[in-house]
Amino acid sequence: MNILISGGTGFVGKHLSNALTEQDHYVYIVTRSPEKHRNTRKTSFISYNHPIEDLPEIQAVINLAGDSLFGYWTKKKKEAIRTSRIDTTQHVIRMMEQMDKKPDVFISGSAVGFYGTSEDLVFTEKTTQPGDNFLAGVVTEWEQTAKQAEKLEIRTVYTRFGVILGKEGALPFMKLPVKMFAGGRIGSGEQWISWIHINDVVGMIQFCLFNDHISGPVNVTAPNPKRNKDFISVLANVLNRPNWIPVPALMIGAVIGEMSILVAKGQYVLPQKAQAYHYAFSYSDLKEALQETER
C-alpha cells in the first residue's frame, strides 16, 4: 500500500512511519523541508507542492501535522496552534482533490480536547457537543476542515488522541518534577488523565487504516483513565521517587499560563469505538505502560 503522511517527522508520525515500512508499505512523508531528510528504500520525503501526477496511486492519507501545544500560550502561539492544523489539513484536502484515483481512507489527527474538561462526565464518541474552551474550538474547526474529504467519497476518521506516553510528547514534561523529587498531585488531583501508550497510538491508527467499517471520531485512549493524583502516584513509583509535594493549580497557571489547562484540568474519555471493534490494547495498565517508556 502507498500511504501519504503529513506530519510524519513528528513524535507520532515517526513511530507510525517506521511501523508501516516494517510491514512493507511505502510511505510518502509530506514536510515543509524535504531536503533535510534522506529517502530510504520504503520512504520518500516530499513537499506540500509536490506534483500529484508524479506520485503513484495513493491508497491512504494520514494527517498528523500541527504546531506543538507546549509553550506559553501568547496570542501568537494560539494562532500558530490553530492555523498550523487548519492550513495543513486544507493543504492535504487539496492534494487529495487533485488525485485521479481518490484514496480509500483519510485519517486526520484530532484530540480529546474536543470534549472540553470535566471531573465527573464520561465522554465517548457518541458525545457530539464540544467543549467551550480554546482547545475545543480548535479541534472542532480542525475536524470540520477534515470533513471535506467525505465530499470526495473518502472514508474519513478523526483520531482523537489522549495524553500520549512515550519518550517524547507530554510525558517528559510530566516526569520532570517527579524526577527532581518535587512531584505530587496538581491542584486537587481529581482531574482525569485519559492516557495512551505510543505503541497503542500506532496500533489504533493502523486498526482504523485497515478496518473499512470504522469512520468518524475514534478516541485514541486507553480504557482506564486515571485521576491526576493516581497517575502521579504510579509515575513516582515507577521512577522510584517520592510523591509528596502537591502543586497548587494557581502556581501552575502563574508559571505556564493558559497552557495549564493541559495539566490542571482533564476529561474522562473512553475508547468505546475501538472496544466495539475489538481492538486489542498492548497497554491497558498504566504502570506497565510507564515501565515500558523507561526501558
CA distances from 158 to 44, 112, 120, 179, 276 (A): 25, 10, 24, 35, 16
Summarised one tens digit per residue, pLDDT across range 182-196 is 888 988 899 999 999
Tell me the Ramachandran region of residue 246: left when phi exceeds 0, alpha when psi lies from -120 to 50, beta otherwise. Answer: beta
Model confidence band, residue 181 (pLDDT cutoffs 50, 70, 90): confident
Average pLDDT over residues 243-270: 82
CA distances from 174 to 185, 226, 242 (A): 11, 14, 14
The helix (H) or strand (E) run that includes residue 239 is helix 228-239
User: What is residue 14's predicted lDDT score, i.e. its pLDDT?
Assistant: 97
User: What is residue 183's predicted lDDT score, i.e. its pLDDT?
Assistant: 82
| Helix, coil or strand: residue 273 | helix
Record the pTM.
0.95
Residue 260 scores a pLDDT above 90: no
Residue 151 scores a pLDDT above 70: yes
Residue 254 scores a pLDDT above 70: no
Residue 263 scores a pLDDT above 90: no
User: What is residue 250's predicted lDDT score, i.e. its pLDDT?
Assistant: 72
Complete domains list, the chain, with CATH: 2-293 (3.40.50.720)
Summarised one tens digit per residue, pLDDT across range 33-90 is 999 999 999 999 999 999 999 999 999 999 999 999 988 899 999 999 999 999 999 9
Q: Is the dihedral of CA 86, 106, 143, 269 positive or negative?
A: negative
| CA atoms of 162 and 168, how far apart (whole Å) | 14
Residue 56: what are its φ and ψ, rounded to 5°?
A: -75, 180
User: What is residue 247's predicted lDDT score, i.e. its pLDDT?
Assistant: 79
User: What is residue 8's predicted lDDT score, i.e. its pLDDT?
Assistant: 96
* Nine cell digits for residue 47: 513537499
CA distances from 17 to 23, 111, 197 (A): 10, 20, 16
User: What is residue 258's predicted lDDT score, i.e. its pLDDT?
Assistant: 84
Name the average pLDDT for the chain.
95
Residue 255 scores a pLDDT above 70: no
Residue 139 scores a pLDDT above 80: yes
Q: Are 118 and 133 in contact (CB under 8 A)?
A: no
Average pLDDT over residues 248-264: 76
Q: Are 64 and 6 in contact (CB under 8 A)?
A: yes
User: What is residue 24's predicted lDDT score, i.e. its pLDDT?
Assistant: 97
- CA 177 from chain centre, in angstroms, equals 23
